[in-house]
Amino acid sequence: MFIQTLLIKLTQKIRLTGTFRKTILLIFAVAITSFNSCNKEDLTPDEFGLSDFEELWQVTDTYYPFFEFKKIDWDSIYAVYQPEFIEITESRKRTRLGDLLNELKDGHANLMDAEGNFLSRYPYPRGVKDLDAFSYPLVTNYFSDALHEGGDIFRYGILPGNTGYVYITSFPQYESEYKLFDGVLDYLKETPGLIIDIRHNGGGSTNASEYFISRLIDEDLEGVIWTRRDGSYQPVIIHHPAGEYQYTNTTVLLINGKSFSTSEAMANLCKKIGHITLIGDTTGGGGGVPDEIFNLPSGLTFRVPTRYELRYDGEHLEWNGIPPDILVPQTAEDIANEHDKQLEAAMEFLSEE
């Protein structure tokens, strides 16, 4: 209505009269009607807008453990966002709920639909930096034979110099999948050195990472401390050796800025294992643990960390990541030039052992 009034005043201002003036107004009226019809869903306020916002803000306020560490004033953020949600549209609501979660600067804080598909992701800086700094197809160029596959999770083979190699694509939920690691080690057990590559591995189940660790230790290993917002913490887990044998020859864990979440939990434990050396670049810095999926009134869902992991040295893993023992930065230009400096550094390191 405002636009129609404005058009009338405009035609009067430029002294359009008679049939021509009516024709101009009719054209604009048809265009406005068409626009409203095509975008009816976008223009209709979402009935769940404010209630979704309030629920997400309140749950986060109750459980999120990093407000003090990150110096986030969540109350001030409420004052900025809340007025928008009184009559917000559905499409705009999803965008702004994602923006609200991104205020946490946390890769584990995500808005999702009812099926669990991510609608928002925080672009954590080291992940952005290393986004194009790794290529699995390039890795295969270093092998004379095709790599073997262990389900959808493992790619493994033997490099020149009889060095074992396994790429772990993710940390699967099901035991039947992660226990395929047994077969990988059986194939590689005679190698004098092993490279475990978790670059660009975004995480998954901690049960899987703990099982992998159990095959790499021959004595009990004290785990890390998981802490909640109120300061309470989970008793330290003791990791025990598992399997018929354990691989304890010199091992390299390859990491980069896209190694995130459970990959970092594994790297954190490997820092405490004497025969394992970390090579590559600092991991992404996702130290929070999103234990639960929370429901919103509209049917959307979201997650935020409710506890967090401290690093091997007592510092926060969140934002800080796990640094390598041997820093080897790598860029998209290196990959374009078919040069995996991190893998080559790992091969050289093992050849000198």
Low-confidence ranges of the chain (pLDDT < 70): 1-43
Q: How far is CA 24 from the centre of its chain?
A: 53
Rounded Cα distance, 264 and 256, in Å: 10
pLDDT at 82: 97
Domain ranges of the chain: 2-38, 40-105, 127-289+307-351
pLDDT given at position 301: 98
Answer CATH for 127-289+307-351 from 3.90.226.10, 3.40.190.10, 3.20.20.370, 1.10.1040.10: 3.90.226.10
According to the model, what pLDDT value does residue 34 have? Answer: 42
Q: What percent of the chain has pLDDT over 90?
A: 82
Q: What is the pLDDT of residue 16?
A: 41
**Per-residue pLDDT reduced to its tens digit, 313-345:** 999 999 999 999 999 999 999 999 999 999 999
Per-residue pLDDT at 180? 97
Closest C-alpha among 316, 170, 325 to residue 250 = 325
Per-residue pLDDT, 202: 97
